[in-house]
Amino acid sequence: MSESDRTTTQAQTTPPARRTARSGRAERRSHADYTGGIYGSMLAASVVLGAGTLGSFPRLEIVLLLLLTGIVFWIGHVHAVLFGERLAQRALDRRVVLRVCQEEWPIMKAAVPPALAVAVSPLLGLDVQGAVWLALAVALAGQVGWSVAAARWAGASRRLVLIAASVNVLLGLPIICFKLLLKH
């Protein structure tokens, strides 16, 4: 039996509700985009790297820097998508704007775990530099996690998932090296 015949037979014997659920998952997979999470995690790691000159409340300032930078870049990406791509193709409506905001939200979500790491660092007995290293580790772990999630959601093989994770570890290494080289 050929692949086409098997697919046709399976479609005929699969209940409509299951076919609909499968097609819905397949459609979500085709539209899933984790690049914002990967990008946002790299951005958060870079913000942590650059947070060297801090004032009287260094932890609070790092948390605010992470969250506010995430918001600004999220808004920037929403603007770029809406006015860079969409405007030329079709008119904007509320539904399109909300969908783009949701699609780009992982950029902002990626800033939250490193910010939380800084916020809880005193409970772990960490000084400010320890908090910075913790936030950097959390941001880079997020970057790898988002890449693995993207690869798995796309249905990639285990080998490709491992490659995606490895590439993102390699992308994080320069940030760690910069942190080691740049003493604040």
Closest CA to 109 of 54, 179, 169, 33: 33
Looking at residue 108, its pLDDT comes to 92
Helix axes 112-120, 128-153, angle to 10 degrees: 150
Tell me: the pLDDT tens digits for 124-162? Answer: 999 988 998 999 999 999 999 989 998 998 899 999 999
Q: Tell me: pLDDT of 16 over 70.
A: no
Band of residue 18 on the pLDDT scale cut at 50, 70, 90? very low
Instruction: Provide the pLDDT for residue 93.
Output: 82
Which pLDDT score is estimated for 25? 46
Answer whether residue 57 shows pLDDT above 90: no
Residue 10 above 80 pLDDT?
no
At 6 the pLDDT is: 46
Q: How many CA atoms lie within 13 A of 94 on its CB side?
A: 0
| Confidence (pLDDT) at 31 | 47
Mean of the per-residue pLDDT values of the chain: 79
Residue 50 pLDDT more than 80?
no
Q: Is the pLDDT of residue 21 over 60?
A: no
